[in-house]
Amino acid sequence: MKGPNNQYPLNSVSKLFSVQLHFVQILTYILLLGFGLTIGIIISFYLKDCSFSLQFTQLSLSALPRTTPLPPPITKQEISNDSNDNNHSDRHIGLNWFLKPPHVKHDLDDEELLWRASMTAKIPEYPFDRVPKVAFMFLTRGPVFLAPLWEKFFKGHEGYYSVYVHSNPSYNASHPESPVFQGRRIPSKKVEWGNVNMIEAERRLLANALLDISNQRFVLLSESCIPLFNFSTVYSYLMNSTLNHVMAFDDPSSVGRGRYRIQMLPEITLRQWRKGSQWFEMNRELALEVVSDRKYFPVFQEYCTGSCYADEHYLPTFVSMKFWEGNSNRSLTWVDWSKGGPHPARIARSEINVKFLESLRSKKCKYNDNSTNACFLFARKFPPSTLSRLTNIAPEVMHF
C-alpha cells in the first residue's frame, strides 16, 4: 500500500530490503561452499598426483645402478692422518682433499671425460703449494715392452711426473707390470692405424692427464719410444720451454694437400691444411684447447677417413690455424724416414751403439730463440730386441 506522494511505507521497504539481504547472504554461502569444495578436490588430486610422481621417481632411481658411489664423509682421524703425513698438523686441508688427482680407473664416457677435463680456473695463481709435473702419455697396442729402460729414466724423480697408458682394450697383461706403469692404464677404446680414432685416443689421454692440475706439460709417446736424455734434462727442457712442439708444415704433394677433403669447407680450407708427426709435446693451455675443440675435430671425424690419415693432419692443422704463434712447428721425437714407405724405419739391434745415440742427441735447432744441440728428447721405433743393449748403454750415454 502506497503512502503519500505514491511511495511505499517505510516499514514495507525495510522488510523488502531485509529479504533481499538474506537472499544475497544465502547465495554467497552457497558460492563459497562450492568454491571451497572445488579447491579441496583440486588439492586432493594434486597431492595424490605428487605422491604418485614421487613414488615413481623413487622407483626409477632405485632401478639405476650406482656406478660411482658417494665417498664416505671425512673423519677426524683421516684429517689427523693427512696432517701428519704432510707434517703440518695445523694446516688447512680442504684443498688437499678436493685437488688430489683422481685415479686413472673411472667409468666416465668420452663426452663426460672431455667435459670434465675442459674445466679451468679463471684465477691463474694457485692458492696452495704445487710441484709442476710432466705427463708422459703412452699410446700402445699392448704392453710398454721398453718399461725397464723407462724405469731407469724415472727412478728418483717421483712427484715430478705422471704416467698414462692407452692400450688396446683387448690387451690383458699376462705378466706383472713394472712399478712406474702399474695401474696407469686409462679406460681405452680400439685404435686403428691411420683412423680418426687414433686422435680420439690422443684426446682421451690428454683429458685424463688434465684431471691432475699439477700436470703442466704433456708428451705423447709410443711403446717403441726411448728417452735420449736423463729425466732432469728432459724436465728442465720442457718446463722452461716457451713454445709447444707440434710439427706442422705445408706439403704440396699427393700425401699432403692431396689428402685434403673439399667437404671440410668452410671450416677448413686447403690453404690452412697442414701435415706433421703425431708425436707432440704441449703445455696445459693448448691441451685444454685440444680436448675442448668442438668445431674442427667433428669435421675431421666426418670427412678425414680412408687415405686422409687424421693423425698426421688434425693437430698440425688445428694448431697452425689457431695457435701458430706459440708453436715451434717441430716434434721432440726423432724418427727415421730415410728408407721411405708409409712407416718410419725400425731400429735394428745391431745399429744401437754409443755413436748412434750420441748423433740423435746432437741435432741443431732453435730452442727459446737460441741455438741448441738438443732438438730431440725422444726417439722411435725401437723393438723389444733392443732393450738389453739400450739398458747397457743408457748409463754411459744418457747418464741415468
Q: DSSP states of 281-344 as a string? A: EEEHHHHHHHHH--SSHHHHHHH--GGG-GGGTHHHHHHHHH-GGGB-S--SEE---TT-SSSP
Q: Give residue 109's pLDDT.
A: 87
The DSSP call for residue 185 is B
Please name the helix (run of DSSP H) or strand (run of DSSP E) that holds residue 367, with its range, or none: strand 365-367
In the beta sheet, which residues pair with residue 370? 367
Q: Give residue 36's pLDDT.
A: 62
- Cβ partners under 8 Å of residue 368, min gap 6: 240, 241, 242, 243
Dihedral sign computed on CA atoms, order 89, 156, 361, 282: negative
Domains and CATH numbers, the chain: 102-121+129-334 (3.90.550)
CA distance 246 to 223: 20
Provide the 10 A C-beta neighbour count for residue 181: 21
First to last CA, the chain: 129
Pairing of strands 333-334, 378-379: parallel
Contact 146, 390 (CB under 8 A): yes
Single out the residue of 339, 336, 341 nearest to residue 382, CA to CA.
336
- Helices marked H in the chain: 10-63, 76-85, 94-98, 110-117, 147-154, 197-210, 231-239, 284-292, 297-303, 314-322, 354-360, 387-397
Burial of residue 377, with CB atoms counted within 10 A of its CB: 0-12 exposed, 13-18 middle, 19 or more buried: buried
CA distance 324 to 243: 10
User: How many H-runs (helices) and E-runs (strands) does the chain carry?
Assistant: 12, 9
CA distance 82 to 74: 11
Indicate whether this model's pTM tops 0.85. no
The DSSP call for residue 11 is H
CA distance 205 to 108: 13
In the beta sheet, which residues pair with residue 221? 138
CA distance 202 to 335: 19
CA distance 292 to 115: 8
Pairing of strands 215-222, 281-283: antiparallel
The three-state secondary structure class of 236 is helix
The DSSP call for residue 148 is H
One digit per residue, the tens of pLDDT, for the chain of length 400 reads 444 444 444 455 445 445 455 555 666 666 666 666 666 555 555 444 444 333 433 333 333 333 333 334 434 444 344 444 444 445 555 566 556 777 788 888 888 888 988 888 888 777 777 899 999 999 999 999 999 999 999 999 999 999 999 999 888 776 667 899 999 999 999 999 889 999 999 999 999 999 999 999 999 999 999 999 999 999 999 999 999 999 999 999 999 999 999 999 999 999 999 999 999 999 999 999 999 999 999 999 999 999 999 999 999 999 999 999 999 999 999 999 888 777 889 999 999 999 999 999 999 999 999 999 999 999 999 999 999 999 999 989 999 8
Dihedral sign computed on CA atoms, order 58, 62, 67, 69: positive
- Using the structure block, give the residue that is written with the C-alpha cell 702419455: 137
Grid coordinates given for 352: 744401437
The phi and psi torsions of 207 (rounded to 5 degrees) equal: -65, -45
Please name the helix (run of DSSP H) or strand (run of DSSP E) that holds residue 379, with its range, or none: strand 378-379
